[in-house]
Amino acid sequence: MKGNLIIISSPSGGGKGTLIKEILKTTPNIGYSVSYTTRAMREGEENGRDYLFVSYQEFSDLIKQDEFLEYAEVHGNFYGTSKTRVNHETDAGRDVILEIDVQGAENIVRDFPEAVSIFILPPSFEVLRDRLTDRATETTENLALRLKNSFGEVQKFKEFQYIVINDEKQQATNDLRTIILAERLKRVRQTGAIQDILDSFDISKFNTVGD
Ligand code: 5GP
């Protein structure tokens, strides 16, 4: 059985990165799809771990090679989900987390209706602004752009199956893990195992007198 595609979106500063790290540490059988991006590497980031950092030329070559499950322009840079990496995880039966923006989420849900979609909301605009400012990863201009874009992004919550409000980190992590684990228990996800059990219920071998 293939693993689930778990889409996780939020506005920049919504805290999805932190929650995803916790999930990867504490949840069995789950992987993360490292995306390609044309964005400049931030201090503390690592090529291959946080993103695969590429030039515009390399990114457009990857588009031509049909390497993206989806890609989008977000806050002035390009980001794309690698087909190879996602298939590697799901083919091995592992769930895979796609940390993507709302446009990417829309495209994945259209192409893979069985994907699980989760939107992480900050408890308020003020908290989002403070988190993003405290993170201090962006230039003043880019920070303003990300905050401005957040107004449109939060309105997209309606397109997601699940909403996790990221007020308290531990609670939000537990909520996220609950969704991921419950999705694995859906009937349609367990058809193989169920069939094996049902096959053992063979009435022709049933003996009413005893074993
Ligand atoms: P950041 O620059 O803060 O790492 O990411 C900016 C935005 O791009 C975030 O909303 C993040 O989820 C999104 N993003 C990261 N990777 C991808 C991807 O592969 N596809 C899409 N559509 N968005 C992505």
- Are β-strands 5-9 and 36-37 bridged in parallel, bridged antiparallel, or unpaired? unpaired
The CA 72 to ligand 1 mean position distance, Å, reads 8
Q: Looking at residue 11, what is its pLDDT?
A: 95
Residue 198 lies in a domain: no
Per-residue confidence band for 135, with pLDDT thresholds at 50, 70 and 90: confident
Residue 180 inside a domain? The answer is yes
**208 SS3 class:** coil
Torsion over CA: 28, 51, 8, 131 (sign): positive
- 103 is in which domain, residue-wise? 5-188
| Distance from the alpha carbon of residue 15 to the mean position of ligand 1, in angstroms | 13
Residue 209 has pLDDT above 70, yes or no: no
Q: Report pLDDT digits (tens) over 71-130.
A: 999 999 999 999 999 999 999 999 999 999 999 999 999 999 999 999 999 999 999 999
Whole-angstrom distance, CA of residue 117 vs CA of residue 141: 30
Question: Which atom of ligand 1 is the closest one to the Cα of 81?
Answer: 19
90 found inside a domain = yes
Rounded to the nearest angstrom, the distance between the alpha carbon of 184 and the centre of ligand 1 is: 25
The atom of ligand 1 lying closest to the CA of 104 is: 22
Pocket of ligand 1 (CB under 6 A): 12, 35, 39, 70, 72, 74-75, 79-81, 99-101, 103-104
For ligand 1, pick from 38, 54, 63, 79 the residue to mutate: most ligand atoms within 8 Å of CB: 79
Q: Whose alpha carbon is nearest atom 5 of ligand 1?
A: 12
Check which CATH number belongs to the domain holding 176 and give it.
3.40.50.300
Residue 32, in any domain of the structure: yes
User: Does residue 197 lie in a domain region?
Assistant: no
Sign of the torsion angle spanned by Cα atoms 15, 141, 48, 63: positive
Give the number of the atom of ligand 1 that is nearest the alpha carbon of residue 50. Answer: 4
What's the number of domains the chain is made of?
1
Per-residue pLDDT for 147 more than 70? yes
Q: Are 68 and 83 in contact (CB under 8 A)?
A: yes
Whether 103 is covered by a domain: the verdict is: yes
Classify residue 206: in a domain, yes or no.
Answer: no
Residue 166 domain-assigned (yes or no): yes
